[in-house]
Structure 1
Amino acid sequence: MRLREAREEVGLTGVTAAKELGISQNFLSEVEHGKRRLTADKLAEAASLYEVHEDELFELQELRRGTDERGWWTQYSGLFPPELLRYFGYEWGAESIRMHESLLIPGLLQTEAYAHAIVTSDSPNTRTSEADQRVEARMLRQRRLRGEDPLRLTVVLSEGALHQQVGGPTVLAEQLEHLLALIEELPDTLELLVVPFTAGAHGALGASTFHILSFPSPRLPDLVWQETLTWLGVIADRARTREYAATFAQCLRKTAGRRGSRDMVHRALREIA
């Protein structure tokens, strides 16, 4: 994506750039969409053509070398569509994520029982034999919450997510207890915020799931991941990502804040008990 931006910044079309680099336009397009990669020499040639600074070229070469390592998600290539596998990779490499969810606890914060209830609820589209693998992948994703360089996560939920009895009251109660435990365990990297029913209308009301991912390098653009019933994918256009960021910021102002949100989780748990 950074190569595509650099090409556009110097005013080169894909056709012209491909010709200058001695590769096909289709190959260059696949490179810019993360499906293929340039050789180290060809990357250096592209950086020169695009007037990329030497420091950034070093960073791009490091990113390129990183693609030699197979991520844990590649073992599930027969289970998930390519776009979702790409998201797992982006999520694993992100520095921070801003998440909006309406009626579900997001996957990074789910218990195994809650995740299993969600996976098996889509019985027309999910084979029973695949359910355990899907849950296993979800649990592996959660390793990003801890470690030497933990993911910084800001999650905005509708109050409805605290009451939707996914898997039944026992599973939901366990899930709410898990949320409270995570809030206590990860105070510096996890911010869980709830939009109460009394908040009124806002830009994300009724919106589908969307995540805004930010990366360690300031040169790498934010990405948006969006899910609907019939579509999922990454949005890289800067104008659109800014729109999502503005909507998320508005949504933050509607939440009950950190302390108020934690109290809401406690109340929802007491209601179940």
Structure 2
Amino acid sequence: MAPSSPTVAAWELGRRLREKRDEAGLSATAAAKKFGITAAYLSEFENGKKNIGEERLTALAEAYELDGEEAAELRSLRDEAGSRGWWSEYSALFSDELLRFFGYEHGAESVRSYDSAIVNGLLQTENYARAVIEAGAPNIRLAEVERRLECRLRRQHRITGSEPLHLNSVISEAALHQRIGGVGVLAEQLEHLVKLINTHPDTLDIRIVPFEVTGHDAIGGSPFLLMTFPTGKLPMLLWHETVTSKQLITDSLTIREHSLAHTEASKAALNREDSLNKIVSASRNLQG
């Protein structure tokens, strides 16, 4: 099971309310007018970006003719959505979109990731993560670097904590040789990967795509994550990063394309044992 996340709760609440609005035959414009709110506000809470007040939820439950059990479930989701996740402490540093990503990741049951040149953030050592952050934002103050680093390390509790995330991380072999932070930092990072693989065999699956592979659907692409959630009422969610943008994507076709790309990258990758051996070999080569 995944831990509670107000971000995930707000998304589920909004989706379920939208489904009930559709079943009631109300357009977004008609529903907004009926309940005395703007269409923009309706869209915000139906997409999980805002929580809904208790009185308004009660009015919606009555209008959509929800039975007592479902109304109680939605009230429970509303209460959960109203709490504050640990990531809210970093609202001054990150965009709303990135904060929502942290919330979804925290409440996810499983993640499939693809990274072409850098080890996934959930698997980074403190020194490696600091080097990545400093390289990505060379002009930010030291205090901000440390806060960003603190946030990244807190995200990693989903890997090592009591409610571990199931992570399938596909990484290009290039990441094993790109000397982020220098030789010592990279060597430490590779040793860390080996330790994680050996310590969390049931929840962590790291696969390396070797240089010998001639191509696959994700090659040359930017990093992405596919998240699934414990509740059966939420679809898969895509987080996609480029040099100029970071965004959450719910479009089913785009998600399907990335899911297929991850599957093909996984097929091109080494198996678990050979991937571990590849990491160990890269680590030994760094150490001379």
**Structure-2-length-normalised TM-score:** 0.88
236-245 or 171-180, which deviates more:
236-245
Structure 2 stretches lacking a partner, 5+ long: 1-10
Q: Which residue of 2 aligns with 1:222?
A: 236
Shift of the alpha carbon at 1:53?
7.0
TM-fit CA distance, 1:229? 0.7
Determine if the alignment matches structure 1 residue 193 to structure 2 residue 207. Answer: yes
Q: Which residue of 1 aligns with 2:267?
A: 253
Pair 1:162–1:68, CA change in 2 (3 A)? same
Matched, 1:202 2:213: no
Q: Which of 158, 161, 170 is matched with 2:175 structurally?
A: 161
Superposed CA deviations along residues 231-267 of structure 1, whole A, max 9, x for unmatched, are: 1110012222122111111111111011111111011
- Aligned-residue RMSD, C-alpha: 2.0
Q: Which one-letter code corresponds to 1:257 in the other structure?
A: N
Moved more, 2-11 or 158-167: 2-11
- Aligned-partner residue type, residue 83 of structure 2: E
Please give the alpha-carbon distance, in whole angstroms, between the structure 2 residues aligned to 1:217 and 1:53: 20
Q: How big is the shift at 1:182?
A: 0.4
Equivalent residue for 2:43?
29
Taking the aligned partners of 1:88 and 1:76, their CA distance within structure 2 comes to 10
Q: CA deviation at 1:169?
A: 0.7
How many correspondences in the alignment? 273
Please tell me whether the aligned partners of residues 114 and 171 of structure 1 are also in contact (alpha carbons under 8 angstroms).
yes
Sequence identity of aligned pairs in percent? Answer: 45
**Aligned partner letter, 1:268:** A
Alignment of 1:124-135 (within 5 A): 124-135=138-149
Match of 2:53 in 1: 39
The structural deviation recorded for 1:201 is 1.2
Displacement of 1:11 in angstroms is 5.2
**Alpha-carbon separation, structure 1, partners of 2:26 and 2:253:** 20
Stretches of structure 1 lacking an aligned partner (at least 5 in a row): none
Shift of 1:34: 2.6
- Asked if 1 retains the 8 angstrom alpha-carbon contact of 2:51 and 2:82, the reply is no
- Name the counterpart of 1:72: 86
Q: Residue 143 in 1 paired to residue 157 in 2?
A: yes
How far apart, CA to CA, are the structure 2 residues paired with 1:118 and 1:5?
A: 42
The amino acid of 1:197's aligned partner reads F
Aligned CA distance change for structure 1 residues 9 and 105 (closer, same or farther; 3 Å): farther
Q: How many angstroms apart in 2 are the aligned matches of 1:93 and 1:101? A: 21
Corresponding residue number in structure 1 for 2:282? 268
C-alpha deviations, 1:149-175, integer Å up to 9, x for none?
A: 211111000010111110011000000
Deviations 1:35-74 (A, max 9, x none): 3221234334435655767655444333221123211111
- TM-score w.r.t. structure 1 length? 0.92
Other structure's SS at 1:234 match: strand
CA offsets, 1:80-127, max 9 Å, x none? 111111111111111111111110011110000000111111344533
Contact 2:111 2:228 in 1 (8 A): yes
